[in-house]
């Protein structure tokens, strides 16, 4: 049995059963904090795809049935979709720890903590889903977040720019609206959970911002120009608003970056 952080992160990443993945991930960060684990600077062979359960069925986003409240499912399909996002987020944080060698120790500590917190989010959402009569895997889901992660496997800077600061930051934008919808439907426990998640996700995006800026400085490139170029290359320069300015500023987006997202200086 290894006592090395990045190898253990890989082992967690490759677990297919969601509950076992969560269990092992939640052991990882406390062991790291307690000084029980070493840190390797070696390159680790990380597969393109993490361990995934048989369910949910993964389909293209355009093929997902529209999430409508109904007498049968209520808000369960929406809560399931958020649960799936958190499952992906566990894998993304673990992958960052395992895949990218040569970063400062704090990088691995940060992403191990993110994996731990994302696993807590998953548990909260899944437990609430069970109270509604469903479980994770009962509805189809899409793999968009991991599809983008695969496109960034080659480069840590690109990963930091596009996964935390684009895909995960989207959660900062849409969560308040989801909370209003759930509140209107009497889903007060779901709103409580999303309040916790939103606060912690701001911190996760901020970590992505920090390491993106760090890597830009290391490589002698301008962060704004680099971010713009990556948006142009991977998203044709267009991201759909509206954007949660308050949350994104707390996650250290600059005014120029916010103007870029709004199409004001493109």
Which has more confidence, 70 or 185? 185
The encoded tokens of residue 163 equal 């996964």
Residue 58 lies in a domain: no
pTM of the complete model: 0.93
Q: With contact defined as beta carbons under 8 Å apart, do 135 and 124 qualify? A: no
What's the rounded Cα separation, in Å, for the pair 177 and 78? Answer: 12
Residues of the chain with pLDDT > 70, as a percent, come to 92
Cα separations in angstroms, 61 against 126, 147, 241: 21, 11, 18
Residue 183 has pLDDT above 70, yes or no: yes
Residue 101 lies in a domain: yes
Backbone angles phi, psi at 75, to 5 degrees: -95, 10
Residue 53 lies in a domain: no
Residue 102 has pLDDT above 80, yes or no: yes
Residue 113 has pLDDT above 70, yes or no: yes
pLDDT of residue 71: 46
Q: Which of 231, 233, 219 is nearest to 256 (CA)?
A: 231
Residue 236 lies in a domain: yes
Residue 48 lies in a domain: no
Least confident of 91-95, 236-240, 241-245: 236-240
Residue 51 lies in a domain: no
SS3 assignment, position 256:
helix
Q: With contact defined as beta carbons under 8 Å apart, do 88 and 119 qualify? A: no
The encoded tokens of residue 78 equal 């929406």
SS3 assignment, position 115:
helix
pLDDT of residue 65: 61
The encoded tokens of residue 237 equal 């320069």
Residue 219 lies in a domain: yes
pLDDT of residue 266: 47
Give the tens place of pLDDT for each residue, 128-153.
999 999 999 999 998 777 888 899 99
What residue numbers bound the domain in which 86 lies?
A: 5-35+69-261
Least confident of 106-110, 177-181, 247-251, 261-265: 261-265
SS3 assignment, position 254:
coil
Residue 266 lies in a domain: no
Total structural domains in the chain? 1
């Amino acid at each position: 049995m290894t006592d090395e952080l990045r190898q253990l992160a890989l082992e967690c990443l490759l677990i297919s059963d969601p509950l076992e993945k969560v269990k092992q991930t939640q052991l990882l960060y406390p062991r790291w904090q307690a000084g029980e684990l070493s840190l390797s600077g070696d390159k680790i062979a990380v597969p393109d795809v993490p361990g995934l359960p048989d369910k949910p069925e993964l389909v293209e986003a355009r093929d997902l049935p529209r999430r409508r409240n109904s007498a049968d499912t209520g808000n369960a399909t929406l809560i399931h979709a958020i649960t799936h996002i958190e499952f992906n987020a566990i894998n993304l944080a673990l992958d960052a720890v395992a895949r990218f060698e040569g970063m400062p120790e704090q990088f691995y500590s940060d992403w191990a903590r993110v994996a731990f917190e994302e696993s807590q989010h998953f548990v909260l959402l899944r437990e609430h889903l069970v109270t509604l009569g469903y479980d994770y895997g009962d509805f189809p889901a899409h793999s968009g977040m991991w599809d983008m992660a695969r496109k960034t496997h080659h480069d840590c800077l690109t990963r930091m720019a596009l996964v935390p600061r684009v895909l995960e930051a989207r959660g900062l934008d849409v969560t308040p609206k989801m909370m209003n919808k759930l509140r209107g439907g009497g889903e007060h426990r779901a709103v409580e959970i999303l309040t916790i998640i939103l606060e912690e996700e701001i911190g996760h995006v901020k970590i992505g911002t920090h390491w993106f800026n760090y890597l830009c400085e290391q490589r002698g490139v301008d962060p704004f120009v680099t971010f713009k170029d990556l948006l142009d290359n991977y998203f044709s320069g267009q991201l759909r608003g509206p954007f949660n300015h308050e949350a994104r500023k707390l996650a250290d987006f600059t005014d120029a970056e916010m103007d870029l997202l709004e199409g004001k200086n493109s």
